[in-house]
Structure 1
Amino acid sequence: MLFVLIGLWTIGLLLLLTDPRRLSTRWISSIAFTGGSGGLSAVIADDVLPYVRERGSLTEELHTTLLAAELVSSYVCYYGLPYTFLMFAIVYSPSYTHWRRGWLPWVLLTPPLASLLLVPKPGDPIPYLYVCAWVTPYIVIGIVLLIAAVLQERNSFLRRSRILVATAAAPTLLFTLFTSYLIPAFFGIYELWRYNAVLIAFTIAVILISSFRYSFMGLQISIQNQRLDYTLRAITSGTSILNHAIKNDVGKIRLFGEKMKADAEDGLLTPEELTRDVEVILKASQHIYDMIYRIQGQTQEVELRLEKVDPIQLMQECIEMMAPEQQGVTVQTHYTYNGSLLADRAHLIEVWTNVMTNALEAMPSGGMLTVAISETKRKIVVEVKDNGEGMEQQQLKRVFDPFYTTKSGRRMNFGLGLSYCYAIVQKHKGTMNIHSKRGEGTSVFMQFPKPPRDVQSTLR
């Protein structure tokens, strides 16, 4: 049981440190802490007390203290685990904002507190029949809510995250319901709870594996942040990033200049097309000007100037600016979020054009580029997806590292694009994740916090 104690409390602490302000993170950490309390109770009874007794150090006062600690830890697990699990499932549900009530946690806490007032039958650690009456619906409803959250999620990246959470929590809690509550209550078999360690090991394995390969409640993002912060600070000047930004815009100016020249020579240049092409060139040159003043030349820090922007309008501008690079590529857009976004316009244009440039370069023979802007209850989700070459897992692990590139054969490529994008999204208090498989294309997911209600008014 020492493994259960250390494993669950370590996971709980890591999750809590990842995002302490997030309500669902606090509740899932509480599940780990209350579950680990059961391990603490077992360690005191099975290891600490016998060890102290064998050494002849067990005084009456110490014995009373250890028994009290064992009892409190046991109650925290028995009564706290179902409660924290249900509360997590509630706040993690996509429908939580529609029926959120401040009094709900206190109402749901009433049955666990009432359990402390009841005296268990002789030989029983808790009043099983009463406890089963509220624990059973708490755990069953929690599992149903987690499964419903998976089924309701339409965003593919967020659905995978919800599947991982449900896989880690639901089987273990269902098994615990039988071994720790129902079977002792109705069959008088009390020691089956020791087998919970097997399912807890499974839960910890799911969390650790998913944290390194994907993300579990933001845990991977925290690890990447530390590594990225360290490596980005090795870049003693913003000059290289600025060069990368200028390179992209100079390329756009050149493409549209060549297009205007070719259309003029062929007699195809109409005043309307000329106006559109000139506008793109002017926007690209303005973007270069803005980027020069956004990046402080003598440090690695990037300055953000937040303003209220329309993400759909901004995305459309990016798509139009990249029109000459889209030969053979069909662009599909899916926009379901109609609100605003607090962002730095210049940096966000740079991020989105970088991501789309990578997508287009992954489809040299043409393909499908899908751009989507959607929302969850707290986030604005931007997805850029291509059906190009895709990446191997080893490449995927390093795509955010500064100076790492898969395009070493191309001139003017510094390997700074995605590390810059990652840093900018993080400075917007957002997250950036990439899912890719060789031969199946690549999806880039960027999540940004929704602005306050007074700023989030509809723009169209």
Structure 2
Amino acid sequence: MIILTALLWLMSLILFLTNPENEKTRWGSYIGFCGGFGGLSVLLSYILDHSSKWVLLIHYLSSSIGHYGTAYAILIFGLVFSDVLSPQKKFLWKLILFIPVIIMQFFFTDYPRYETQHVILSLWVVPYVFVSAGLMVYAAYSERNKTARKQKIITCLVVVPALAFAVFTNIILEAFGVFGVWMFNPWVIAAAFLLFVYFIVKYGFLGVQIKFEKQRRDLTMKAVTSGTALLNHSIKNEVAKIDLLASQLKESEPDDEAIDLILKSANHLFELSSRIQKKLDIMELKETEFQLSDLIKSSIDLLQPQISEVHIIKKYEVDARVYGDFVHLQETGLNIMKNAMEAMGQDKTLKIRIYETRRNINIEFSDNGKGIEKDKLTKILDPFFSTKKKVGNFGLGLTYCYNVMTKHKGDITVKSQLGQGTTITLSLPNNRVRNTTPNQELKDNLAGECYG
């Protein structure tokens, strides 16, 4: 039992201290934390006959946390891990699902001597554990992103067998009067711990990882101590546009439309600069509801007049009203389209598609540019990496996009082949979608719309 408690608390400590801001990691650590108290209660039970009131109290609390808290943490972890609940409903369900814990503690737990009510306990603990395991397996099965899917499969391999064995030996068998099989739990926990150590070093586990591409990128971003370079990147883009428009005005009669574009660009730059915090990895989101089609239109408008020579094809299979940060997502779209413009030759064609999958709403940008070499594709989102050989390119445009999508719990994927162009897809989770409208009229109006 000492080994079981130590291993559970060690896993819990590693997860929590390494990645406390991640909700999945936190709830994973809570499982180990509460489970460790179950082992502690067994140790204390050996000395209860000669114990003080303080030992009785600690045993009582440890047993309650171990039996009730672990089951609750397991189910909430499954719900968080699978992302089946929207942020608005998540808090309510956490309260509702805590009700059995309160009932067990106040109506079926005697003080100071804790006696486990196995039959009553099994009525809610068994469903909690198996629902959580089912949600975890479903999340891994339905995940489309290959990297995220591997991570979820790894988590299932470590967690699900250990949970199934624990609930079978600790709850189900003892509810039927079969006692003592739980003594094998330390061996199962030890095996799960070895898997945990292997995966955390080799691939990563619940966002905690040592040698893993995404973690490497995140750590590099955190090593950038100031957001000055990123701010300069945005300033460079906007100032270049203002300079172009001002030059056009100087050489011609004043144009109200050009003046409006200058003012719009200047306002956008002011808003963006006021939103970037001192550090690159700290980004404040100001979230509102908006249409994805409006987001794309606004990004295109901000690229005028440079984008006037690009043939833009819009294919909106759906339109969606989403909840997110309009300014940062607008800047993300602007960065992607600007990169596409710079990569394309004389015949510039950019296809923009909005479509829905089972778990995400997606915006896809496809250009007919020169493409990206295969060996550079995995580094394209890294800070300071750039395929452009121009002075003043900081290599932070797509890193910014990656950071924005990460803050929205979304994803960004890049696919490219030399000579065949590049496709970048932004994916927002469905829990950010307020409503989706497959608007045929919108599709008919926009398919084939072009600028220039």
Specify if TM > 0.5: yes
The Cα of 1:194 is off from its aligned counterpart by 0.8
The aligned amino acid for 2:12 is L
Task: Name which of 371, 384, 407 aligns with 2:387.
Answer: 407
The Cα of 1:174 is off from its aligned counterpart by 1.6
The Cα of 1:139 is off from its aligned counterpart by 1.4
Distance change in 2, residues 1:359/1:31 (3 Å) = farther
1:145 maps to 135
Q: Distance in 1 between matches of 2:259 and 2:393?
A: 24
Decide whether the 8 Å contact of 1:211 with 1:220 is kept in 2.
no
Task: Name which of 68, 72, 75 aligns with 1:79.
Answer: 68
**2:26 aligned with 1:7, yes or no?**
no
2:267 maps to 290
Higher relative contact order (CA 8 A, sep 6+): 2
Q: Distance in 1 between matches of 2:309 and 2:204?
A: 36
Q: Distance in 2 between matches of 1:362 and 1:81?
A: 53
Segments of structure 2 that go 5 or more residues without pairing to the other structure are 249-255, 443-452
Decide whether the 8 Å contact of 1:432 with 1:447 is kept in 2.
yes
1:430 maps to 408
1:169 maps to 159
Q: Distance in 2 between matches of 1:86 and 1:112?
A: 16
**2:236 aligned with 1:243, yes or no?**
yes
**2:338 aligned with 1:338, yes or no?**
no
The Cα of 1:187 is off from its aligned counterpart by 6.2
What does 1:199-238 correspond to in 2, within 5 Å? 199-203=192-196, 206=199, 228=221, 230-233=223-226, 235=228, 238=231
Q: Distance in 2 between matches of 1:317 and 1:111?
A: 53
Q: Distance in 2 between matches of 1:371 and 1:37?
A: 51
Task: Name which of 196, 207, 222 aligns with 2:188.
Answer: 196
The Cα of 1:8 is off from its aligned counterpart by 1.7
Q: Distance in 2 between matches of 1:204 and 1:283?
A: 58
**2:90 aligned with 1:107, yes or no?**
no
Q: Distance in 2 between matches of 1:92 and 1:188?
A: 32
Decide whether the 8 Å contact of 2:15 with 2:25 is kept in 1.
no
The aligned amino acid for 1:3 is L
2:125 maps to 135
The Cα of 1:192 is off from its aligned counterpart by 0.6
Decide whether the 8 Å contact of 2:136 with 2:156 is kept in 1.
yes
1:35 maps to 35
Decide whether the 8 Å contact of 1:94 with 1:152 is kept in 2.
no
1:18 maps to 21
Decide whether the 8 Å contact of 1:435 with 1:443 is kept in 2.
yes
Distance change in 2, residues 1:305/1:82 (3 Å) = closer
Q: Distance in 1 between matches of 2:430 and 2:179?
A: 50
Task: Name which of 303, 309, 315 aligns with 2:296.
Answer: 315
SS state at 2:78 partner: helix
Count of aligned pairs between the two proteins:
400
Shifted more, 165-174 versus 147-156: the winner is: 147-156
SS state at 1:407 partner: coil
The Cα of 1:315 is off from its aligned counterpart by 0.9
The Cα of 1:182 is off from its aligned counterpart by 4.0
Q: Distance in 1 between matches of 2:163 and 2:101?
A: 18
Q: Distance in 2 between matches of 1:83 and 1:38?
A: 14
Decide whether the 8 Å contact of 2:151 with 2:206 is kept in 1.
no
Distance change in 2, residues 1:74/1:366 (3 Å) = farther
CA-atom RMSD, angstroms? 5.7
Q: Distance in 1 between matches of 2:198 and 2:319?
A: 36
Q: Deviations over 1:84-118 (max 9, x none)?
A: 21233346555545896576224332564355349
Q: Deviations over 1:417-457 (max 9, x none)?
A: 1344456668xx6356444578697655465998999xx99
Q: Distance in 2 between matches of 1:348 and 1:127?
A: 52
Decide whether the 8 Å contact of 1:392 with 1:437 is kept in 2.
no
Segments of structure 1 that go 5 or more residues without pairing to the other structure are 50-59, 258-277
